[in-house]
Amino acid sequence: MNSAEEGDLIVRREGAAGVIRLNRPKAINAMTLEMSIGIDAALDRFETDLEVALIILEGAGERGLCAGGDIRGLWESSREGGDLGARFWRQEYVMNARIARYPKPYVAFMDGLVMGGGVGLSGHASHRVVTDRTKLAMPEVGLGFFPDVGGTWLLSRSPGEIGTYFGLTGQTMNGPDAIHAKFADAVVPAAKWPELREALTKVGQGATAAEVSKLINGFSTGEAAGPVAAKQAAIDALFGFDRMEDIVAALGRDGSEFAQATLKTLNEKSPRGMVVTLKLLRLARTASNLEECLVREYRAALEVFRSDDFREGVRAAVIDKDRNPAWSPPRIEDVTPEMLAPYLAEIGADELKFN
């Protein structure tokens, strides 16, 4: 076993597997800039190591793979007019694109909580394993933000309006719904993971993606749809609009318990965040690749970092935890095209570039 213990990140080779373990269990493995840089270095090392046939991404502890980025650090930098957002997201988004095109099989074990930046590390993997304990979400609109880390690419490729629903509400997917939404590939019971993990460390050199898939599928339950998938028809009807006002109106007209509960959820989110999210999701539908979405997300993220809504959303959810954000503006109809424009504008020399 070739090992490097690196505090918040553990990188080592176990047999044929290059293992990357996020190691901040008390913070549900929330990602820092330093961890992201470390993952990139690990991917460099494993790509050229002839003894490494595949990558395993996992999280330490029992609570989840990764609860997202280090929001508190970003909040502090935003308040101080710092540049952590620009540096953190540039590093993270370039890495997200790299994961999607990584030349060796990349197996993400998406157990427990998988949110925000955790989706960026796992949702673009070649082999995405969820469990009976998976709770996957892109809850950024509740922070005055939007689903980033390539989230707009993934959500826009979910069937029908399922992605629009998950992106705007921030609701949680279980394992089977993650399969339905095309965020994952196989449900493997958490109790079977040690056995599957052991088998992955023993694959032959040069193992193909198809061979790794066959191995994983041997442990899979075969489930491919959960409770949200069962509401596909209603979601398609209610979320099939390009303006937030029209989605809200459709929900208001619908007397179902589901529609009313969904409307209540949306009323808690950042109006600006929802308008930006919907626009980015619709633009992503015509994107030709993940990188195109990440470039757009980076522009929007820099604008978010400067915004009062982001600082207020994080304050209410993470810092003071009063769950009572004062959004600006407070109503969807008050989000003007002029407010939206800076999130979509080109940023010249600061544009996101890929290696």
Among 58, 70, 140, 291, the active-site one is 140
- Predicted confidence at residue 355, as pLDDT, reads 74
DSSP string, 251-303: HHH--SHHHHHHHHHHTTS-HHHHHHHHHHHHHHTT-SSHHHHHHHHHHHHHH
How far apart, in Å, are the Cα atoms of 16 and each of 13, 19, 42, 199? 7, 9, 15, 10
Q: Lowest-confidence range among 4-18, 240-254, 295-309, 312-326?
A: 4-18
Q: HEC string of 185-238?
A: CEECCHHHHHHHHHHHCCCCCCCCHHHHHHHHHCCCCCCCCCCCHHHHHHHHHH
Percent of the chain with pLDDT over 90: 93
Provide the pLDDT confidence category of residue 3 given band limits of 50, 70 and 90.
Answer: very low
Give the separation between CA 172 and CA 138, rounded to whole angstroms: 8
Told to judge if 44 belongs to the known catalytic residues of this protein, a careful annotator would answer no
69 is catalytic: yes
Catalytic residue among 18, 117, 120, 175: 117
The single-letter DSSP state of residue 164 is H
The mean pLDDT of 306-329, rounded to a whole number, is 92
Report CA-CA distances (Å) from 299 to 78, 120, 295, 303.
16, 17, 7, 7
Residue 332: count of CB within 10 angstroms of its CB: 21
- State yes or no: is 148 an active-site residue: yes
What angle is formed at CA 270 by the lines to CA 265 and CA 273, rounded to 5 degrees? 115
Q: CB-hemisphere CA count at 13 Å for 346?
A: 4
Q: Mean pLDDT for the chain?
A: 95
Q: How, if at all, do strands 106-110 and 54-59 pair?
A: parallel
Confirm if 141 and 180 have CB atoms less than 8 A apart. no
338 is catalytic: no
Task: Write the pLDDT tens digit of every residue in 175-227.
Answer: 999 999 999 999 999 999 999 999 999 999 999 999 999 999 999 999 999 99
From the candidates 69, 112, 142, 151, which is the catalytic residue? 69
Provide the pLDDT for residue 1: 46
For residue 285, which of 151, 182, 181, 153 has the smallest C-alpha distance?
Answer: 153
Q: Give the whole-number percent of the chain exceeding pLDDT 70.
A: 98
Residue 353 CB contacts under 8 Å (≥ 6 apart), including other chains: 94
How high is the pLDDT of residue 5? 53
Mean of pLDDT values over 66-72: 90
Residue 329: cis peptide before it, omega within 30 degrees of 0: yes
Mean pLDDT over 331-335 rounds to: 96
DSSP β-ladder status, 54-59 and 64-66: unpaired
pLDDT of residue 69: 87
Q: What is the pLDDT of residue 255?
A: 86
Q: What is the model's pLDDT at position 221?
A: 96
Q: Span 92-110, mean pLDDT? A: 98
* Rg, the chain, Cα only: 20
Q: Which of 8, 70, 148, 312 is catalytic?
A: 148
Angle between helices 162-169 and 232-239 (to 10 degrees): 70
Mean pLDDT, residues 105-120: 97
pLDDT at 4 over 70: no
Helices vs. strands in the chain: H and E counts, helices first: 16, 10
Distance CA(128)–CA(348), nearest Å, equals 35
Sheet holding 64-66, edge to edge: 64-66, 113-115, 135-137
